[in-house]
Amino acid sequence: MTFSTAFDLVRRHVADDRLPTAVLGVASADGTVALEAFGPASAEDRYPLFSITKPLLGIAAARAIARGQLTPETPLTTALPEFGARRDDVVRLRHLASHTSGIAEPPLDTAVPLRTELLSRGRDFVAGTASRYSTLAFEGIAALVEHATGRAWDAEVSAWAAEIGADGLSLDHSDAHLIADAAAAGLDMARFAALRNPGAGLAGRADDLLRLGSALLRIGGGERGGILSPATLAMMLRPLTGAIPRLEPYPAERGQDWGFTWNLRSRAPGLIDRDVYGHGGWAGTQFWVHPTAGVAWVLLTNRADHASVDADAIDNAIIGAL
């Protein structure tokens, strides 16, 4: 397999200063097939992953479900009895995992501890009646995982990551690339990193995510004994948002469905292959798995204002090369 068109596209983005640095990689079920860094970066560099963190925590939660410690119906009040004192609905794990919990969202670099935010934020809508993207909801998933397993959420992520050699995933940002325009975009990175946000706080290498992509492709092909069983992965990829309203910043025309922490691009108008799941991150990071095509790809980069970089074009160039 050759993916020169996609790599040339990212190379031009860096050369034209649309991205300050980038690492692009592609994997199959057998492992990494292409990996290259652009700009002042190396392929082994670590980057803040931002919202790619969400499905990484989701895998830890799904493993707890497979052990009988949680179910998608588990109420958040199981772990946090004080949650929702002024709500007349029930927020369940599946709501938290599919952006349908109706918890009002704070800034990404809030000065308030995330647990306090989770317990004190008002209701945006009745749980399950609409979908609005929520990072704070993942503090609720972390609380449920920690209550069920007796371990910190990031320790549960590290446990499955160690099984596939993805040992660069952690909350440590000390050696990660700086976000070139974080301050201009209004994000205090030091305050953000200190939150250890379970919906956005991990950093890692392209290799870590490529290893995960390979593992997910093998599981999707029926492999047993991996980080998830085929049935558990299938549960994560089951759409949970149906026909309910999609509110900003992911309105219906963007073509998203949400599974159990995965972004399902099943109706994405810009893609030539919609059999895809994955997640993007605030500073331009991308991680996508195409099960039928048999590839996964990763883009790590570090610019908040990346509107001129079309991730769908990169995706299409990768799929078009097959």
CA distance from start to end of the chain: 7
How do 286-290 and 295-301 pair as beta strands? antiparallel
Does pLDDT of 1 surpass 80? no
Does pLDDT of 140 surpass 90? yes
Identify whether 20 is preceded by a cis peptide bond (ω within 30 of 0): no
The model's pLDDT over 4-39, given as tens digits with 9 standing for 90+, comes to 999 999 999 999 999 999 999 999 999 999 999 999
Spatial CB neighbours of 118, under 8 Å, sequence gap ≥ 6: 80, 83, 103, 136, 139, 140, 143
The CATH homologous superfamily to which domain 4-320 belongs is: DD-peptidase/beta-lactamase superfamily (3.40.710.10)
CB 90 within 8 A of CB 123: no
Q: What is the mean pLDDT of residues 79-91?
A: 95
How do 31-38 and 22-28 pair as beta strands? antiparallel
Does pLDDT of 147 surpass 90? yes
CB 172 within 8 A of CB 205: no
Mean pLDDT of the chain: 97
The model's pLDDT over 229-265, given as tens digits with 9 standing for 90+, comes to 999 999 999 999 999 999 999 999 999 999 999 999 9
Q: Please, which pLDDT band fits residue 206 given cuts at 50, 70 and 90?
A: very high
> Which pLDDT belongs to residue 86?
87
Nearest to 44 by CA among 52, 55, 32: 32
List own/partner pairs for 160-166 with CB under 8 A and 24 or more apart. Answer: 160/59, 160/60, 160/63, 160/227, 161/56, 161/208, 161/212, 163/226, 163/227, 164/211, 164/212, 164/214, 164/215, 164/227, 165/211, 166/204, 166/207, 166/208, 166/209, 166/211, 166/212
How do 31-38 and 257-258 pair as beta strands? unpaired
The model's pLDDT over 269-318, given as tens digits with 9 standing for 90+, comes to 999 999 999 999 999 999 999 999 999 999 999 999 999 999 999 999 99
Nearest to 59 by CA among 186, 150, 162: 162
Q: How many other CB atoms sit within 10 Å of the CB of residue 313? A: 15
> Which pLDDT belongs to residue 180?
97
> Which pLDDT belongs to residue 29?
97
Q: What is the mean pLDDT of residues 118-124?
A: 95
Q: Tell me the domain boundaries of the chain.
A: 4-320
Give the ranges where the chain is alpha helix by DSSP (H).
Answer: 4-15, 53-66, 93-97, 114-120, 137-149, 153-163, 189-194, 206-220, 230-236, 311-320
Distance CA 269, CA 56 (A): 26
> Which pLDDT belongs to residue 8?
98
Nearest to 83 by CA among 129, 142, 133: 142
> Which pLDDT belongs to residue 284?
98
> Which pLDDT belongs to residue 306?
96
